[in-house]
């Protein structure tokens, strides 16, 4: 004789291997999803001034962040784009080379 807890466990918690049961459950889920997708309601929304202000704030923050990044790495950017680095496929002339270190 089974206790109530064992019966509930078998009925509701343990997976059923019955393929007909699984197929009908999947069909019910598909039907529910289809009904939710078909039964949409029109939503009349608007963008208030606060949203526009937030977008402007994001654009300004991005520009300020980019400017700070360029300022922070300006010497490295200038050295990379400077005359001491030849472009790919080109060689340096003798007068373009950096002077030797004099110690």
pLDDT tens track for 34-59: 888 888 777 777 778 888 899 999 99
Q: Quick check: pTM over 0.75?
A: no
- Tell me if 16 sits within 8 A of 22, measured CB to CB: yes
Handedness of CA 22, 28, 32, 37 (dihedral sign): positive
Asked if pLDDT for residue 66 goes beyond 90, the answer is yes
Among 49-58, 68-77, 92-101, the range scoring the smallest mean pLDDT is 92-101
Asked if pLDDT for residue 94 goes beyond 60, the answer is no
Long-range pairs, 89-93, Cβ under 8 A, ≥24? none
Q: What are phi and psi of 72, to 5 degrees?
A: -65, -40
CA angle (71 as vertex; 70, 76 as ends), nearest 5? 70
How many other β-carbons are positioned within 10 Å of the β-carbon of residue 68? 10
pLDDT for the residue 87:
56
pLDDT for the residue 13:
63
pLDDT for the residue 59:
96
Quick: pLDDT tens for 3-16: 777 777 776 666 66
| Element spanning 74, H or E | helix 74-81
């Amino acid at each position: 004789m089974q206790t109530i807890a064992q019966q509930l466990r078998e009925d509701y918690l343990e997976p059923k291997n019955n393929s007909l049961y699984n197929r009908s459950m999947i069909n019910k889920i598909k039907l529910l999803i289809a009904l939710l997708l078909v039964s949409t309601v029109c939503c009349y929304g608007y963008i208030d001034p606060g949203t526009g202000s937030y977008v402007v704030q994001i654009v300004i923050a991005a520009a300020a962040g980019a400017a700070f990044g360029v300022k922070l790495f300006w010497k490295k950017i200038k050295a990379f784009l400077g005359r001491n680095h030849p472009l790919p496929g080109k060689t340096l002339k003798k007068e373009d080379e950096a002077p030797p270190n004099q110690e």
